[in-house]
Amino acid sequence: MTDFDATVLNQHPEWRHVLEAYRALQEQAEQQRAKSERDQDGEVWLPRLAQVDGVPAEKMAAIHGKLIALGWLQFQLQGRNDGVLYRLSPDGRRALESSERVENETGQLVQSA
């Protein structure tokens, strides 16, 4: 990931909170290794998060859309009963890691010049 990805993500802390929440849930589900939650490639899909600490509920739909458009969050239509499921994409994971690395190196969130 580039500094641009870290900059964009850190300029929108609510986006980062949502990605972090999906990452935490994904890691927890992967540790549980529940086969019923896995698709053919072994990835865990999660129900849509309706709320995340630090993010107003009315912004969640727009944030999901932005994260999907950026390729940082993936979704799939599961069916009538399960609806839409989500997971952090590899690009989303790299964007978070890049953002965290820059923050650790500088001691602050990246801001555009």
For the record, the structure tokens of 74 come out as 């993936």
Residue 111 is predicted with a pLDDT of: 44
Q: Could you list the beta-strand ranges (E) of the chain.
A: 46-47, 73-79, 83-88
Residue 38 is predicted with a pLDDT of: 54
For the record, the structure tokens of 24 come out as 């935490």
Q: Which domains does the chain have, with CATH numbers?
A: 3-106 (1.10.10.10)
* Backbone dihedral region for residue 72 (phi beyond 0: left; psi -120 to 50: alpha; all else: beta): alpha
> pLDDT truncated to tens, each residue of the chain (113 aa)?
457 788 888 889 999 999 999 999 998 888 775 554 455 556 788 999 999 999 999 999 999 999 999 999 999 987 777 788 999 999 999 999 988 887 787 765 544 33
Q: Please tell me whether residue 19 adopts helix, strand or coil conformation.
A: helix
The CA-CA-CA angle for residues 26, 31, 36, to 5°, reads 75
Contact status, residue 22 vs residue 88, Cβ threshold 8 Å: yes
Residue 21 is predicted with a pLDDT of: 97
Contact status, residue 63 vs residue 55, Cβ threshold 8 Å: yes
Residue 96 is predicted with a pLDDT of: 92
Residue 108 is predicted with a pLDDT of: 57
User: In whole angstroms, what is the distance from residue 39 CA to residue 26 CA?
Assistant: 13
